[in-house]
Amino acid sequence: MVAKSAKLRAGPISCYQRSSTPLLLHITSNSHDISSNNPFTMANNPFISIRKYIKWGDGPAGENTDTLVLTSAAKYFVDVRIFLPTSSTPPPNTIESLEWGFAGIADSTPGQGERPAHTVWSHWVDSKTTEEVKDEGDMYPQENGEVLEYGSMVNPAKGVVEKYEECWVDLSPRVIPPENGFISWVMKCEDVERGVKGMVIRIGECIQGVLRKGDEVSVGRWIWSEEDGWRKAVDIGGFGTEVPSKVLRIDADMKLGDKKKGGGGLEWECVEAFGWG
């Protein structure tokens, strides 16, 4: 249902094109498979994933969302799915344009013999519910670096549980100058009395987060480029005003245990800081 770390990975995020909205992620023609001796194949490294398609039951494969998943070294994840723009979809950066946003922690069991790799994703915060739910699937890495995931879950179009197949592509993070290596961190906020739960993750040139305050939901996504620096690609429900502004500074030195204030007095704490490469 969300991304997973495979033995092979497919190429770098080198272009984020805008086509009526700033949401579409594209893998350019210079994408490549990364061999098993590359540091990105190490199981404990953070990774970036996009969904290529989903297939329900015996129906055709298709994709009507821009789905980006960030998974940290400690297996925290943020999964945000935005409807692709069509003449009938809601305007961008409205709550109606959000298909799903959730975050939590993943627990993976490696495959062995005929048994496939299996992952359980625990949703700590979810745009669809205030309950802590779980979903799970079996993963089958493909020779081209893609990963096929099989499982069963509620089909949102029908409201019934159906078998599904998803195809995921894991992408290479980038080093952002003047940083000397790959950077990843995870920040969380929680206020039980106010019904607040939020998580934001950075991996390389991507930052993405989900926040719930009672019945209010917000999500955000930023992409770094040499031309624009940190560009806001998604901001639904005012997420950009909730996250501490200092996390978008290129010289932000995030350390485990750091606490920073966001909008509305929310306190965000760094629960993971990781560098590699």
Do 96 and 220 reside in the same domain of the chain? no
Is pLDDT of 165 > 60? yes
Number of structural domains the chain divides into = 2
Do 66 and 161 reside in the same domain of the chain? yes
Q: Which residue has the higher pLDDT, 164 or 249?
A: 164
Position 96 scores a pLDDT of 95
H or E element in which residue 227 lies? none
Do 41 and 71 reside in the same domain of the chain? yes
Those residues whose C-beta lies under 8 Å from the C-beta of residue 13, and which sit 6 or more positions away, are 25, 27, 48, 171, 172, 173, 174, 205, 206, 223
Do 43 and 74 reside in the same domain of the chain? yes
Position 104 scores a pLDDT of 98
CATH number for 189: 2.40.128.310
d(CA 108, CA 75) in angstroms, rounded, equals 9
Position 173 scores a pLDDT of 94
- pLDDT tens-digit profile of 51-88? 999 999 999 999 999 999 999 999 999 999 999 998 88
Do 56 and 193 reside in the same domain of the chain? no
| CB atoms inside a 10 Å sphere around CB 160 | 7
CB 48 within 8 A of CB 70: yes
Do 267 and 248 reside in the same domain of the chain? yes
Domain for residue 2, yes or no? no
Domain boundary among 171, 205, 237: 171
Do 106 and 15 reside in the same domain of the chain? yes
Instruction: For residue 239, give the amino acid letter.
Output: F
In DSSP terms, 221 is beta-bridged to 208, 234
- pLDDT tens-digit profile of 7-17? 333 333 333 33
Domain boundary among 115, 143, 171: 171
| Rounded average pLDDT over 228-249 | 89
Is pLDDT of 25 > 70? no
Domain coverage including residue 230: 182-276
| Rounded average pLDDT over 160-169 | 95
Confidence of residue 249 (pLDDT cuts 50, 70, 90): confident
Do 50 and 147 reside in the same domain of the chain? yes
d(CA 70, CA 170) in angstroms, rounded, equals 10
Do 17 and 145 reside in the same domain of the chain? yes
